Amino acid sequence: MADISLSNGLPLGIYVLKEPKDKVLNRIREVSTSFGQSFPKCQVVPKFKECCHKAIETLDVSFEDTLATRECHRFVGSLSTDDINKAYHNAYYLYNILMGLNWVTLYAIDFDKLPSCRHLLGFTDKEAAAKAVDLIDNGIVKLVSKALSIGSDIYSFTTIADIHRFYSDLIASYDGVDSANLSKMDLLFLDKARLETEYCYLATLKTTGRLTKELLDARQAIIDEYHQKIVELNNHFAAEDLL
């Protein structure tokens, strides 16, 4: 267990819901409830192993395949044991996993509601500068929640710098990982993060009066490339939903 870095009970990364939020929360609650009951000593090990199995089943059924959920799956599997003392000890880690899954599910938002500076580019330099003072209050960023988290870090989205830091840290969370090991969902979020950091760069220039047509045209190829990748991956997931 020591080789895994857990934040808020979960491995660092992206968690994407397969099912409606309420259904996922009910699954997690069901595992947590059975986990929290008192059992005769002879039943502790089989009941704990059953809870580990149900937690893995919840990951498989309720969450999309990502690097984070794979690591979470492996970690929960490593907790299952025939040793009663280890079962008592590992129960703490399983509880943290369940509470972490509950947290990310409770505060999950739609993909198209992720923060973006793109809309600032449609204003004049002066208007963009005024709106960039507080992106949430000025309606540029529209979130179900005013903050998101990556691991233990909580991000607000008041300024362009806030959004840039969020996406830069998301990209950094994949540092050192072979792209061949990433799922299509991981790739979707990486392309989204790269696209949004590009918008942050252009929005910063826009709000300071330094965004020229020539520069925007030069960066358009990069934007178009990421947009195309995102469209293709979204189409992939849409096709899967129809199967």
The pLDDT profile of the chain, 243 residues, written as one tens digit per residue, is 223 334 556 888 889 999 999 999 999 999 988 876 777 888 999 999 999 999 999 999 999 999 999 999 999 999 999 999 999 999 989 999 999 999 888 888 888 888 999 999 999 999 999 999 999 999 999 765 555 667 667 778 899 999 999 999 899 989 999 999 999 999 999 999 999 999 999 999 999 999 999 999 999 999 999 999 999 998 888 877 643
pLDDT at 147: 58
pLDDT at 223: 95
Residues 59 and 79: their CA atoms lie apart, in Å, by: 15
- DSSP secondary structure of the chain: -TT--EETTEESS---BSS-HHHHHHHHHHHHHHHTS---GGGHHHHHHHHHHHHHHHHHHHB---HHHHHHHHHHHHH--S-HHHHHHHHHHHHHHHHHHHHHHHT---GGGS--SGGGGGS-HHHHHHHTT-TTTTTSS--SSSEEEETTEEEE-SSHHHHHHHHHHHHHTTTT--GGG--HHHHHHHHHHHHHHHHHHHHHHHHTT---HHHHHHHHHHHHHHHHHHHHHHHHHHHHHH-
Residues 6+ apart with CB under 8 A from 170: 14, 150, 189, 190, 193
Domain boundaries, the chain: 6-106, 111-242
* Tokens read off for 175: 């540092």
pLDDT at 3: 34
pTM beyond 0.75, yes or no: yes
Q: For helices 184-207 and 160-172, give the axis angle rounded to 10 degrees.
A: 150
